[in-house]
A and B are shown apart, each in its own frame.
Chain A
Amino acid sequence: MTPPDSTPPLLQIRGLKMHFPIRQGMLFKRPKLCRAVDGVDLTVHHGETVGLVGESGCGKSTLGKCVVRLLEPTEGAIHFEGFNLAPMGCRQLKPHRRHIQMIFQDPVESLNARHSVGQILEEPFVIHRQGDREERKKKALALLDKVGLPAASYDRFPFEFSGGQRQRIGIARALALNPKLIICDEPVSALDVSIQSQVLNLLLDLQRDLGLTYVFIAHNLAVVKHISDRIAVMYLGRIVELAGADELYRNARHPYTRALISAIPEPNPRRERERIVLTGDVPSPINPPSGCPFHTRCPHVQDRCRVEVPQLRPAGPGHEVACHFDL
């Protein structure tokens, strides 16, 4: 799905940085920064799904949390429907909250064990003062129906459900306020493989029916490919490659993306393929390498990479890559 350029994008992230200060020492503090997200530009259009992939610790969840403003970004702008959410305070943010929702990774953690499913699903309406008691109940039951849970779940409590069902409750809660954008923070990685596809298909159905826009954060490339229109690959707080899903898999330009793709398990054991094995660990975001963040592990590293930070540059239609070279 390539969106027409005439409509303004739904979400536009510009130069987003999220630095966490790290305290060290008692008296003579030399504040160090953990650069979890270090200058990200990303545009998300209406109705599309942008996948966000990368190793753990690359800042993809932090980016998601910045967008829903669970975190206050250090720098940069988050333009959503013409408003810059980044500098907003709690009060200002409230009317915008309903348009951006989040689905969390762990359905056990993300549901309050002391609230019944009914309470959980009605809370958004209570907070945003929508409807009276009966109306709210009706809406909650409709939500349960939408995510394929029986109406009897209304009076039950989260611990009475399985992981997949709980994730459905989480999805229902995210849908409650008719959001435009949903940040899915690894919504299936805590689920059994058999349940994963059910939940993914539910997400796809919902997107089709409700015209939702997703930012889909995951580390499972197969999952991301299944659901995404475009995929952004993150490494050490930066986006290193951005392309349409098929394009990225067929024609990866960044050595890191290539390594990631080569790591996807291949169901056919006879098929020969090149396996790129990266050596070393991801460098610490507290002490990021100079120049290209990937140069410490890159098989094609040159002197220029150690000095100069590569910017995202076009590398084909809808394809951007942050590498100095055309590999």
Chain B
Amino acid sequence: MKFSLNPITAKKLRRFRQIRRGFVSFTILAVLIGLSLIAEVLVNSRALIVRFEGKWYFPTYGAIIPGRTFGLDYDYATNFRELQARLEKEPERGWVLMPPVPYDPIENCYPGEFFRPRAPSFAERHFLGTDQLNRDVLARVVYGFRNALIFAGCYIVLTYLIGVSLGCSMGYFGGRLDLFGQRLIEIWSQVPFFFVVIIVASIVSGLGGMNLGWLLGVVVLFSWTSITWYMRSVTYKEKARDYVHAAEVIGAGNTRIIFSHVLPNVISTLVTFAPFSVAAAISALTALDFLGYGLPPPTPSWGELLRQGTSNLSAPWIVASAFGALMLVLVLVTFIGEAVREAFDPKKFTIYR
């Protein structure tokens, strides 16, 4: 059977494409996400291509290449910027092609020198300057974006998985499960989320360190509740419709009714929440990082950059980059969300009622 879009979905996608602002935002964000996925090629302290004494090297991906390979006097990872500077003096031995931004997000670019934020400089290829530990701000913004995306992606998948399955079963099976499930969720959603995160973070850092998994777990644990309400009520509504009864009369079991009838009719409206969940996830991560309860240093993150920036206001490029990036992404996501909501609004498509 060939894959074909349901015409209703196709129509919604067409409508989405017609909403200019949302579609343009979507394109920009998609390009940004695409770029962040190949960030190693664009922002990296490893060279893209090295030609050395008749041999080709592509150090971007894969194991580190020790300095001795290139006739340097050390066994640790090659500093390709130094190598580049050296080979420029003796071009007959080879050459090095560096990425557009030749810095890593976690390296201190001027070891041995006094740590201070450096202003943006095109000559040194610090396009957005450095932070107070001499790390390239652009590199940190780009990799921070990637971390935020990974976080938001996992966040969405997990919260939806929990929220949809619980909400759907509460709405579908009803009865005691619904009654007690709802009360439990009501109580659970009253737990102050930030305090718990802070407590867990302090315990976990004592145990061996916060990482993306822990942080994700804690944040997801307290944010799946809102979807269950929505899922519960729409499932409840869909369940009472005649097409579900028709399936029941034919002999469809619960599993079949839920996965083949109810969910497909509900998911499309759930899509409208996704962009706002992304925005929520990114803001939550940034907020936690800003407070210092998020990912451990030296992980690049926007919240950490913001914190540095606000304590180094004399170096405005730090706070401006982090804030600009955060704002750009949140605005894009919100525009997309708005357009998705408009395109998927069921009211424009229902003939009846």
Binding site for B on A (CB under 8 A): 65, 68, 70, 90, 93-94, 97-98, 100-102, 104-106, 108-114, 123-124, 127-128, 157, 159-160, 170, 173, 176-177
Contacts and interface: CB of A to CB of B under 8 A. Distances in A.
Nearest to A65: B245
Contacts, number: 74
Contact of A110 (B8, B245, B253, B351): B245
A114 B265 contact: yes
Contacts of A100: 249
Contacts of A112: 243, 247, 261, 264-265
A124 B252 CA distance: 8
Contact of B250 (A106, A108, A177): A177
B233 to A, nearest CB: 18
B251 A157 contact: no
25 contacts: A65-B245, A68-B249, A70-B249, A90-B253, A94-B251, A94-B253, A98-B250, A102-B245, A108-B352, A109-B241, A111-B243, A111-B246, A112-B243, A112-B264, A112-B265, A113-B243, A114-B6, A114-B264, A123-B247, A123-B252, A127-B250, A127-B251, A128-B251, A159-B7, A160-B7
A157 B11 CA distance: 13
Nearest to A107: B242
Contacts of A170: 246
B93 interface: no
B251 A97 contact: yes
Given A104-B245, A110-B243, A112-B261, A159 B250 contact: no
A70 B245 contact: yes
Contacts of B107: none
Contact of A157 (B8, B245, B351): B8
Nearest to A108: B352
Which of A113, A114, A124, A160 neighbours the largest number of chain B CB atoms within 10 Å of its CB?
Answer: A114
Given A113-B8, A114-B8, A114-B264, A97 B250 contact: yes
Contacts of B256: 127
Nearest to B267: A114
Interface in B327-353: 351-352
Contacts of A98: 250-251
Given A108-B351, A108-B352, A113-B8, A124 B250 contact: yes
B8 A173 contact: no
Interface string B200-218: 0000000000000000000
Which of A124, A128, A157 neighbours the largest number of chain B CB atoms within 10 Å of its CB?
Answer: A124
A157 B7 contact: yes
A100 B250 CA distance: 9
B248 interface: yes
Interface string B85-123: 000000000000000000000000000000000000000
B250 A173 contact: yes
B259 to A, nearest CB: 12
Nearest to B263: A114
B182 to A, nearest CB: 15
Given A112-B265, A113-B8, A104 B242 contact: yes
B251 A109 contact: no
Contacts of B260: 123
A250 to B, nearest CB: 36
Contacts of B245: 65, 70, 102, 104, 110
Contacts of B249: 68, 70, 97, 100-102
Interface in B243-279: 243, 245-254, 256, 260-261, 264-265
Nearest to A100: B249
Contacts of B253: 90, 94
Nearest to A176: B250
B276 to A, nearest CB: 24
Contacts of A160: 7
B8 A124 contact: no
B241 to A, nearest CB: 5
A104 B246 contact: yes
Interface string B217-245: 00000000000000000000000011101
- Nearest 7 Cβ contacts at the A-B interface: A97-B251, A110-B242, A109-B242, A112-B243, A114-B264, A104-B242, A124-B250
